[in-house]
Structure 1
Amino acid sequence: MSGRSLLPRVAALVGPYASGKTTLLESLLLASGSIQRKGSVSEGTSVGDASPEARQRLMSTEVNIATANYLDDRWTFLDCPGSIEFQQDTYNALAIADAAIVVVEPEPTRAVMVAPLLKFLDENAIPHVIFINKVESSQARLRETLDSLQTLSDLPLLMREVPLKNGDAITGYVDLVSERAFEYRDGRPSELVQLPETALSEEKSARQDMLEHLADFDDHLLEELLSDLTPPTTEVYENVSRTLASDLIVPVFFGSANSDHGIRRLLKCLRHDVPSPAETSARRGWKPQGGAVARVFKTVHATHTGKLSYARVWRGEFTEGALVNGTRPAGLYSPQGATLTKLTKAGVGEIVALARLEAVKTGEVLGLPDPDVHSWPTPLPRLFPSAVRAEKKQDEVKLTAALAKLVEEDPSLSIDQSQATGELVLWGQGEIHLQVALDKLKNRFNLAVTGHRPQVPYKETIRKGVSEHGRHKRQSGGHGQFGDIYIDIAPQPRGAGFQFAETVVGGVVPRQYIPSVAEGVEDYLKRGPLGFPVVDVKVTLTSGSYHSVDSSDMAFKTAARIAMTEGMPKCEPVVLEPILAVEIAVPADYTSKAQRIISGRRGQILGYEAKDGWKGWDVVSAFLPQAEMADLIVELRSLTMGVGTFAWKFDHLQEMAGRGADKVVEERKTALAAQ
């Protein structure tokens, strides 16, 4: 049976951290003859994980691209990061893939780690197969793992093979369509063997189960089963192929990337069952006729080549030197790991890198887009912040430009210049995510950058009002300075902000000087008696006096500051801390742990409910002080197998009292003294 397409197809390798995706890529490349020797992740010799940041951590930190030919079929494999912190890259790669290989370990308690990926695949109708890796372990529990995975998938999981065993060790498999048995041979193709009598019963039961699942989508097959007829093998193959391409079922395979077990069986599945680029293009909404079209799924600012836009061609042909979106690329390349090979042209299905398309961003369409195509993964929400600054003062402008490039590469990064604290804050998906970003600044842009926990934007307000007199008088020869005012300072309701009013009568303070009084008050409120910006205060100018020669705008502004400086400490100032509305999403088994996290961080639990559209997940709603949020995602993931997450927004300011408030004020005084 021939492959589905002579055009290049794309398969994304996805799965949780440490599931063995990069090792599987090496096995696929070896089995297809694309490499002569497998590389090693631990030794830094793999095709994937080629960046310094990935090799330093022995983990994927970005999508790696490799091409292969297998039985005359052309493939591009996208080895995607397993860490949830780099999932944006994974989602963007899946958006241009024909299918995904979901790599998991044979441990049912770890199955939940793949839940966000399966949800994304199901919601976006991306055909996918599951490869249960590392079955060389004698502790491998395939059936229990499959049952656990089924609770996470909206689609039926279809075992395509059953294991052959010698004691507890898995030594081969039986293909449930052809009903042929194969024994593993390390580093070589599996060997066809006689189907053992001991495996016959399990094989028949599993095959019947597979056929019944397929019959849910084929009336003719259902009629054959009801009539106790054995369907022809070719018909079963066609059913598997059609239902996978239509994203109706999820075939499940198993093997060992370390030992090269089950790799060629996986390649044959890809060859026969993965949809063609034309089928994927139609599913994505692209029309078959029209000019050349490609979509950028990855952007890299490389040290030597400059900006590279990685794109998949959906229609037509791109040629070297031709205009693309009004710009002539500096080069057209085929990527293989960290190596780029120059191309003269690229057609449908191919993945290419175009150099120096400065105006093009990740997710954008190259060529003439169809007006009805809009779907693209949205940037992941901000979860973990770090205030960053260049170690050398003269690098600050360079830092801003370099950070903008990193954000362009990875939309799940973002930068803010905090108006409240003045800090430059880099946001990402977790601690490692931001560490990698800082390493890229050093390795690619020669920028030494330090990061630290951002300041909390505390505010302060007052509990009672006072009346105060402010007088500024100075005589220094010639014109002097004179400003004299009386003000009332009063608290406002929470959230009302600052209000200035005046009840001056009789011209005791000339009208032209009243705005200067307001300006002086506002200037003082930038830093109140506790050291924080003051909010929710009303100041009323009630009276005063002036000098016809020595009074000025500056004199009345200074008098206002004097009055505020004298009066505010008498108003019982109090610290206000920002409170965020937080929604924590976790599998229901971890709901109680999420509630304990909230309680341990001075939070107020508002309730919880089932997460809409997610089987077996809850959302816990709470109010949490912003001061307790900085490493929330780190603790949450450590207690939920890495899958817990949250969304947040500012809700209100809340008075702070006791030793906590005293500590905040003391730390603020120390920080101000050090400036």
Structure 2
Amino acid sequence: MPGRDPTAPRCAALIGPYLSGKTALFESLLYVTNALHRKGTAKEGNTLGDASPEARQRKMSVEPTAAVTQYLNEDWCFIDCPGSVEFNQDTRNVLMIADVAVVVIEPVVERALALTGLFKYLDDHDIPHLIFINKMDVSAQPVREVLSALQSVSARPLLLRQVPIREAGKNGDVITGYVDLVSERAYHYQPGRESALIQLPNTILAREQEARGDLLEHLADFDDDLLEQLLSDAQPSNDAIYHQIAKDLAADLIVPVLLGAAEKDHGVRRLLKALRHDVPGPDLTVQRLHLQDKSTAALIYKTVHQPHAGKLSFARILAGKLTDGMTLNGQRVAGLMRPKGNVLEKTPQAGFGEVVALGRLDQAKTGDLLQAEGTAARHAEWPEPLAPLFALAMGVENRNDEVKLTAALAKLTEEDTSLTFGHDPDTHELLLHGQGEIHLQVAIERLKSRYNLPVRVQRPQVSYRETIRHKTAQHARFKRQSGGHGQFGDVHIEVWPLERGQGFLFEDRIVGGAIPRQFIGSVQDGVKDYLGRGPLGFPVVDVAVALCDGQYHSVDSSDQAFKTAGRMAMQEALPKCDPVLLEPIYQVEISAPNEFTSRVHGLISSRRGQILQFAAKPDWPGWESIEALMPQSEILDLVIELRSLTQGVGNFTAHFDHLQELTGRLAEKVIEQRRAAQ
């Protein structure tokens, strides 16, 4: 078989949309290969995967879970990946080191759309993948309709490997087995056991012949010999068909499709056989990642900070072997372990193809290539972190915990690179950025459970500004006598608005020494000090100030006196200049399938947005990119509604464009809230 080394462990990533049943398939694969003696269920909260408190509370995967097992004396590692788009970074990272992706999907036409981004990512990185249509025991839609929907979002041809056998039941047709389209053998599902070989039912013969013909035609598109046989009405051998499927799968030319029901173990053994015979080994993954010249190499796909065990780096060995205590990138490995869910089994060494956890590599990061020689370096083709789409402002309940919070956030963002944090220079809030509301909730829960850091969170402040619309002149005098030297500063200023985006301008028009040179800078400092919070309560921008005249006292004048006088002049002048609120406007680019374009337009309009243009999204067939201008206040939770309107697949990017006047009731409400907060 192409890329096939039967002695090297292989790795399969289980991916797919939320609720497709990936964790149930993960449990079933481990159960039928005797790695588990009893299957858990998400309902009971006792699965090997989803073992963290955050996952069990939500009954959903929030981090990848790996487990090693054997099937027919061959080593495998299965990695159950999160299905929610909010945890997509982990899924992308796992796929980089996997030999194959098993895409798990429900037999529901409407859910096929959720696979668009996954298929695109797999094809962009040439990652072999197959589809397992799960929950066939409760399917009401014909397989060919589901397959057609899946094909509409896949750039690669889908090859149906099985057709279901349906029998009449009390509540309608029930799927009781399947026909393998290569061997043309029929099987009957048996709970807890291998499917039983049965005689091919006459009722399904026509459908089987039609589906097998489709399979062979797709394969013939990539093999001239097979095409010639079909044109001459010759039947290719089963061995030739199996060989062609394995060859085309390794090259990411086709996507085989299998059927089953993981909770009942239906189709799981057939899936294992397909994986065993068709999936390339790690040598092909090494080629894909351009690591052929490495004598020792391990690629880190996940970093975890455990409260007691310290830092763990989960990696796949893609060249040579690793031993406990060896030095990688200048760091000593303090513990080498094989994963089995949340349990790690120590081992003195591990070889090519294995997935392992490495202890206390403090300088190593996700995406780093570990080598026996050299220093830490990020793999050149490692995926960039996903751009943030949602943010929360946070603060600790005890101010003494601020340093501790920063350290804890640094660990969380090292574990998940799609999480970022930092202080907003405009609002001075500490912001945690991520992929959505649930993503940040999980991070906040981990702060409390792992680091004993309960935090307060709130919606981030909008970076409002204010400016003026009229010109004025103002005189201000600061005079104070309190025994000894007093304080005296007298200034005359002019204030006028600037064009949007010009910022702040200060002019010195003093002549004749009315104010000594050493005090002019102090007046400017006082003016700028006031601009930090204008009459509406926000920083003032696009304002020019000229110092025209003034007086000083040879004894009582000082830098502080003139700074205070400058501030007083601004405090009295700006309310006379017709101050107006400015709100930040962002340029937003929203991506979504064409069928949701009208919904996206409505979403933009409902959020005070202005559509600039829309066009087909490059390299995304059937998708559109809509550019618009939207207020910052309207994009803070945009991703929540966008995903709701687009079955979870819509996405956007945003960057600051300009400031725009905001008047009327909305402006009054913002100003009222600001004054109440202050």
Work out whether residues 495 and 543 of structure 2, in 8 Å CA contact, stay in contact via their aligned partners in 1. yes
Equivalent position to 1:346, from 338, 343, 350:
350
- SS class of match (2:626): strand
- Aligned match of 1:308: 312
- Aligned match of 1:100: 101
1:268-326 superposed Cα distances (whole Å, 9 cap, x missing partner): 01001111111111122111x44311111100001110110111111011111111111
1 CA distance for matches of 2:60 and 2:444? 17
- Aligned match of 2:233: 228
- Aligned match of 1:547: 553
Work out whether residues 4 and 271 of structure 1, in 8 Å CA contact, stay in contact via their aligned partners in 2. no
- Aligned match of 1:178: 183
Listed as ranges, the gaps of 5+ residues in structure 1 are none
- SS class of match (2:77): strand
2 CA distance for matches of 1:177 and 1:351? 33
1 CA distance for matches of 2:138 and 2:232? 41
1:89 matched to 2:90: yes
Work out whether residues 330 and 374 of structure 2, in 8 Å CA contact, stay in contact via their aligned partners in 1. no
- CA apart distance, 1:465: 1.0
| Counterparts of residues 332-371 of structure 1 (less than 5 Å) | 332-367=336-371, 368=373
Equivalent position to 2:504, from 479, 498, 502:
498
- Aligned match of 1:623: 629
2 CA distance for matches of 1:299 and 1:154? 32
Work out whether residues 4 and 272 of structure 1, in 8 Å CA contact, stay in contact via their aligned partners in 2. no
- Aligned match of 1:127: 128
1:191 matched to 2:196: yes
Work out whether residues 368 and 378 of structure 2, in 8 Å CA contact, stay in contact via their aligned partners in 1. no
Work out whether residues 108 and 141 of structure 1, in 8 Å CA contact, stay in contact via their aligned partners in 2. no
| Counterparts of residues 526-605 of structure 1 (less than 5 Å) | 526-605=532-611
| Counterparts of residues 124-523 of structure 1 (less than 5 Å) | 124-167=125-168, 168-287=173-292, 289-367=293-371, 368=373, 374-523=380-529
Work out whether residues 414 and 427 of structure 1, in 8 Å CA contact, stay in contact via their aligned partners in 2. yes
2 CA distance for matches of 1:18 and 1:37? 22
Work out whether residues 107 and 141 of structure 1, in 8 Å CA contact, stay in contact via their aligned partners in 2. no
Work out whether residues 368 and 379 of structure 2, in 8 Å CA contact, stay in contact via their aligned partners in 1. no
Work out whether residues 412 and 428 of structure 1, in 8 Å CA contact, stay in contact via their aligned partners in 2. yes
- CA apart distance, 1:4: 4.9
- CA apart distance, 1:372: 11
Work out whether residues 161 and 257 of structure 2, in 8 Å CA contact, stay in contact via their aligned partners in 1. yes
- SS class of match (1:646): strand
- CA apart distance, 1:369: 7.5
Work out whether residues 105 and 134 of structure 1, in 8 Å CA contact, stay in contact via their aligned partners in 2. yes
Work out whether residues 312 and 361 of structure 2, in 8 Å CA contact, stay in contact via their aligned partners in 1. yes
Work out whether residues 4 and 273 of structure 1, in 8 Å CA contact, stay in contact via their aligned partners in 2. no
Work out whether residues 293 and 369 of structure 1, in 8 Å CA contact, stay in contact via their aligned partners in 2. no
- CA apart distance, 1:451: 1.1
- CA apart distance, 1:469: 0.6
1 CA distance for matches of 2:548 and 2:252? 74
| Counterparts of residues 17-56 of structure 1 (less than 5 Å) | 17-56=18-57
Say if 1:331 and 1:173 are closer, same or farther in 2 by CA, change over 3 A: same
Work out whether residues 301 and 409 of structure 1, in 8 Å CA contact, stay in contact via their aligned partners in 2. yes
More moved, 28-37 vs 555-564 = 28-37
Work out whether residues 369 and 379 of structure 2, in 8 Å CA contact, stay in contact via their aligned partners in 1. no
- SS class of match (1:666): helix
Q: Matched residue pairs, number?
A: 671
1 CA distance for matches of 2:464 and 2:321? 56
Say if 1:372 and 1:524 are closer, same or farther in 2 by CA, change over 3 A: closer
1:461-509 superposed Cα distances (whole Å, 9 cap, x missing partner): 0001101111111111111111111111110000000111111100001
1 CA distance for matches of 2:464 and 2:481? 40
1:521-557 superposed Cα distances (whole Å, 9 cap, x missing partner): 0111000000100000011101111111111111110
2 CA distance for matches of 1:531 and 1:290? 61
Q: TM-score, normalised by structure 1?
A: 0.98
Work out whether residues 285 and 373 of structure 1, in 8 Å CA contact, stay in contact via their aligned partners in 2. no
2 CA distance for matches of 1:290 and 1:454? 47
Q: TM-score, normalised by structure 2?
A: 0.97
2 CA distance for matches of 1:187 and 1:626? 55
1 CA distance for matches of 2:143 and 2:209? 17
Amino acid at match of 1:574: V
2 CA distance for matches of 1:641 and 1:73? 39
* Identity of matched residues, %: 56
Amino acid at match of 2:219: L
1 CA distance for matches of 2:378 and 2:332? 26
More moved, 364-373 vs 297-306 = 364-373
- CA apart distance, 1:197: 1.2
1 CA distance for matches of 2:165 and 2:91? 34
2 CA distance for matches of 1:140 and 1:191? 25
1:417-453 superposed Cα distances (whole Å, 9 cap, x missing partner): 0111111000010100000000111111111112110
CA-atom RMSD in angstroms: 1.4
- CA apart distance, 1:563: 0.3
- Aligned match of 1:660: 666
- CA apart distance, 1:102: 0.2
1:555-609 superposed Cα distances (whole Å, 9 cap, x missing partner): 1101001100100100000110001100111111111111111111111111211
